[in-house]
């Protein structure tokens, strides 16, 4: 092989190496992009079902609609769930979106996290048994979890449940104006002042007795009233002064939960 042939061979080898390097680089880039798309899809799917806490934006306290009452059907917690106002309130909301889809006892037995009083936090479990008068209750994150447990079990991926805890009182009205009933933690009859306290893993846990969860379904800005579906009431609607609700709501940390039906982006 003469020098000219050797030079051509070197050039050919160099070209082949360049092409091989380009092919390897393209393959690695494709693999990484595919991996990123897979991760993104998983994250989107997870965000639909994982507990989500957010505060409504600091919007105008006067919603666009002055008076509204959603067509929500009340469900009484008694006699089956004497201390289960929270899970009954969730049942009211679920049946608003899907009429006659679930009963309160099944929802409580199958989907509500429960634990022994003094051993668990109301942020993670219902304290005691809602079927007994000795049960205490739970906070908003537990109801979010119960709702997600139900949606996941039923394969319902077009609903998202939000923990609105910390949302200013007046901002909740816009949710109702948008057609979404809101679960609110207030007080049953009087302010929730009796406090239970214990320690779990070195952390102090407390629960205010007489707290009560009901579903905000309407308001009248002119009259200054709110309309609820109240698990403790035999009436379908209960109307009270907004001023009587705001204090207990704020004293309990502004706890609220709402369910949104995900709209079809193609519509």
With H, G, I as helix, E, B as strand and everything else as coil, classify residue 112. coil
The region, left, alpha or beta by phi > 0 then psi within -120 to 50, assigned to residue 93 is: alpha
Residue 32 has pLDDT above 50, yes or no: no
Average pLDDT over residues 56-60: 50
Residue 59 has pLDDT above 60, yes or no: no
Q: Name which of 20-29, 40-49, 204-213 the model is least confident about.
A: 40-49
Distances (CA, A) of 217 to 15, 29, 89, 193, 198: 73, 52, 11, 26, 35
Q: How far apart are CA 116 and CA 205, in angstroms?
A: 13
Mean pLDDT of the chain: 83
Q: Cα-flanking dihedrals φ and ψ of residue 151, to 5°? A: -60, -45
Residue 37 has pLDDT above 70, yes or no: no
Lookup result for tokens 């989500």:
52
Q: How far apart are CA 126 and CA 219, in angstroms?
A: 29
Residue 50 has pLDDT above 60, yes or no: no
Global pTM value: 0.77
Neighbouring CB atoms inside 10 A of 100's CB total 7
Residue 6 has pLDDT above 70, yes or no: no
Which two three-digit tokens encode residue 60?
A: 């105008």
Predicted confidence band at 65 (pLDDT cuts at 50, 70, 90)? confident
Please spell the DSSP secondary structure of 37-104, one letter per residue.
HHHHHHHHHHHHHS-EE-------SS-S-SEEE--------TTT-TT-HHHHHHHHHHHHHSTTS--H
């Amino acid at each position: 092989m003469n020098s000219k042939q050797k030079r051509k061979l070197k050039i050919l080898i160099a070209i082949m190496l360049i092409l091989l390097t380009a092919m390897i680089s393209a393959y690695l880039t494709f693999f990484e992009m595919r991996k990123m798309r897979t991760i993104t899809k998983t994250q989107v799917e997870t965000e639909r079902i994982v507990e989500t806490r957010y505060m409504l934006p600091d919007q105008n306290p006067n919603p666009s609609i002055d008076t509204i009452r959603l067509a929500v059907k009340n469900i009484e917690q008694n006699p089956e769930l004497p201390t289960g106002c929270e899970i009954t309130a969730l049942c009211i909301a679920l049946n608003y979106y899907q009429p006659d889809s679930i009963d309160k006892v099944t929802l409580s037995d199958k989907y509500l996290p429960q634990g022994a009083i003094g051993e668990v936090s109301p942020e993670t479990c219902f304290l005691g048994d809602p079927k007994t008068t000795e049960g205490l209750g739970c906070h908003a994150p537990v109801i979010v979890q119960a709702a997600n447990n139900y949606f996941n079990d039923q394969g319902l991926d077009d609903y998202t449940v939000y923990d609105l805890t910390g949302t200013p009182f007046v901002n909740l009205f816009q949710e109702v104006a948008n057609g979404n009933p809101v679960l609110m933690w207030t007080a049953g009859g009087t302010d929730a002042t009796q406090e239970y306290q214990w320690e779990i893993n070195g952390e102090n846990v407390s629960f205010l007795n007489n707290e009560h969860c009901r579903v905000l379904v309407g308001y009248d800005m002119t009259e200054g009233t709110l309309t609820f579906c109240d698990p403790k009431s035999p009436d379908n609607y209960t109307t009270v002064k907004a001023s009587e609700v705001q204090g207990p709501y704020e004293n309990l940390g502004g706890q609220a939960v709402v369910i949104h039906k995900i709209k079809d982006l193609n519509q």
